[in-house]
Amino acid sequence: MQVLKGHVWKVGQDVDTDLIIAARYLNQSDPTYLAKHCLEDIFPKLNEKIKKGDILVAGKNFGCGSSREHAPLAIKHAGFSCVVAENYARIFYRNAINIGLPVIVSPETVKMTAAGDRLEVDLIKGIIRNITTEQTYQSETLPPFMMEILEKGGLIPYVSEKVKADV
């Protein structure tokens, strides 16, 4: 999971959690069901068009609004390998790390990347390469404990190891 590759889907700024997954679908929490409706008011039938590993590129304040973890779950299970944004709303950011969805901060990438470009993201080094335009960007790397959570596959596997260690 450390080097991710995919085509870019691009959205604007302040994309809220209602746009990521509308509340009309929150009467269920099955990730496959949520994935079918991911971002559907922006990209109708996204789930039929997306290729596994594609990358979501977004403007500032991505994921603002509700605390619904259904939002990063829908993105992850729709097939996106990661999100690259100018910055994130805090609950979304924390939820994404907790469920094992890499979220990268790189305003430069967002500015210089177009929909359909092919990106390669090295999570450990924080290097993002736009294969289409042959440009390379350095993003902020995650703090070590967040990287460890991602490597374990999310907060639950990370915490359950600690619980076992306590016993």
Partner 1 sequence: MGMTITEKILAEHAGLKEVVAGQLINARLDLVFANDITGPLAIKEFKKIGVTSVFDQSKVLMIPDHFAPAKDIPSAQQCLEIKRFAAEQELVHYYEVGRCGIEHCFIPEQGLVVPGDVVIGADSHTCTYGALGAFSTGVGSTDLAVGMARGEIWFRVPESIKIILHGKPKNRWVSGKDYILAIIGKIGVDGAQYKTMEFAGEAIDDLSVAARLTMTNMAIEAGAKNGIIAPDEKTISYVKERAQKAWRIYQSDDDAVYERIVEIDVTDLQPQVAFPHLPSNTKPVSEATDVKIDQAVIGSCTNGRWEDLLEAAEIMKGHKVHPEVRAIVIPGTQDIYLRAVKEGLMETFIEAGAVVSTPTCGPCLGGYMGILAKGERAVSTTNRNFVGRMGHPQSEVYLSGPAVAAASAILGRIGTPEEVAQCKY
Q: Which residues bind partner 1 (CB under 8 A)?
A: 14, 16, 18-19, 22-24, 26-29, 41, 60-61, 64-70, 72-73, 87, 89-91, 94-95, 98-99, 154-157, 159-160, 163-164
Q: Which is nearer to partner 1, 3 or 41 (CB)?
A: 41
Q: How far is the CB of 129 from partner 1 (least distance, A)?
A: 28
Q: Which is nearer to partner 1, 127 or 155 (CB)?
A: 155
Q: How far is the CB of 32 from partner 1 (least distance, A)?
A: 14
Q: Which is nearer to partner 1, 14 or 151 (CB)?
A: 14
Give the burial string for 57-91 (b: 16+ CB within 10 Å, else e).
bbbbbbbbbbebbbbbbbbbbbbbbbbbbbbbbeb
- Secondary structure element (H or E) that encloses residue 112, with its range: helix 107-112
- Secondary structure element (H or E) that encloses residue 128, with its range: strand 127-130
The rounded distance, in Å, linking the Cα atoms of 109 and 130 is: 8
